[in-house]
Amino acid sequence: MMNSYLDAAVESICESVRIDSSLGTKTANAPFGQGALDCLTHFLSLAERMGFETKNYDGYVGEVVFGDGEEDFAILAHLDVVPAGGGWTKDPFGGIIEDGKIWGRGTMDDKGPAICCLYCLKALKDKGFVPRKKIKLIVGCNEECGWGCIEHYKKVAALPKTGFSPDAEFPVIFSEKGILQIRFHFPVEHAPFTFLEGGNSVNMVCDYCEAKPVTLTLSRAKECGLEVKNKKLVSYGKSAHASTPEHGKNAILPILRYFEKKNEQIRYLVECLFEDKFGLQEVHDSIDCLSLSPDTVKYRKGEIQVVCDIRYPASFEERRVYDMIDSFGVKYETVSSQNPIRVNKNSELVSTLLSVYEECTGESAAPVSIGGGTYARALECGVAFGPEMPGDEPVVHQPDEYISIERVQLLLDIYEKAIRRLTE
């Protein structure tokens, strides 16, 4: 039974959460900042104490190896996190346990699941299980901001062809939308402000934005739901994952609303990015629809730069999205791009994971599609598998992120059975 590993797993998750592993300043030994390196070191040290072979690939990504079969099987997780953002009632890096939950950034995305998978490997090892495939638990440090970790891994090691990523939802994710992060440059002549900036991350709904207007009108600020601090307009929103912007409240829009009556170019920006003037969000196939989330904004040298996170259905070609944003008639460049994936629903990988989920939960289920992007798309045949359950309160990339201890126990059960059946 995995119960004997629960307390240790919970403590290890708390330790990891106390390390702020959001993107930091690059150094010679820490390509994604000291916090990410410290978190990687903590994880690999934990695995070494369990008796596993580990590898640290130059601070970009780490690996825990179990077994010596000729074929490889991958579990791909990440240790980096998005910035905490505002709105927390708990310490985002406190790793405290309260109300049966571990609170903090990364508990659900993705430190908690990564550590659960590590303890599942330990449980299998302790039971004398010998996998017919070499299992590689690969933990990256740059999943949230560009995937530099996986690109480095591909240069220095051999990435398995098959596996899963514990970084999304149950029951099984067989399809993930394509992802484009685009920086738009909207020109603004005679800008009615001298400063405008907001957003923490390009894959996180903006929860704070501020601007310094040339002329401050208190009645207009109140009408737009803005606060005034030190002659600046301040807008508060609610963060959420950019793949589900409907779960958040974007703080950029109220600021732009304040200025749109004074400047037609700002009004046009609002029409393009918030009112869907060109119908991007009407794009859909039989499974998914396109989403667009304007996540960061700043004013520089006569233009408003907005980075938008766009998720499009797997059956669509990337070129079709570019054709539509060309209609905006403004300069833009691609910040990052990830192709969609769609795995056969009847494949051995999907059917095995689905059967494990049904056995552990007692629920009948079918594979689903998501807008989120996971490491699964780095594999020839990869899917995402947990940790969120249908009907969960959304907490990923939001304030007061948590994972319940009950969920940790379930993950230990599910992942242990899944790893065994896929490698025995």
Catalytic residues: 80, 143
Q: Check: CB of residue 105 under 8 Å from CB of residue 86.
A: no
Maximum Cα interatomic distance, the chain, rounded to a whole number of Å: 72
Terminal-residue alpha carbon distance, the chain: 18
> Which residue bears the tokens 């390196």?
37
Length of the chain: 424
The two structure tokens encoding residue 148: 């530099």
SS3 for the chain, per residue?
A: CCHHHHHHHHHHHHHHHCCCCCCCCCCCCCCCCHHHHHHHHHHHHHHHHCCCEEEEECCCEEEEEECCCCEEEEEEEECCCCCCCCCCCCCCCCCEEECCEEECCCCCCCHHHHHHHHHHHHHHHHCCCCCCEEEEEEEECCCCCCCHHHHHHHHHCCCCCEEEECCEECCCEEEECEEEEEEEEEECCCCCEEEEEECCCCCECCCEEEEEECCCCHHHHHHCCCEEECCEEEEECECCECCCHHHCECCHHHHHHHHHCCCHHHHHHHHHHCCCCCCHHHCECCCCECEEEEEEEEEECCEEEEEEEEEECCCCCHHHHHHHHHCCCCEEEEEEEECCEECCCCCHHHHHHHHHHHHHHCCCCCCEEECCCCHHHHCCEEEECCEECCCCCCCCCCCCCEEEHHHHHHHHHHHHHHHHHHHC
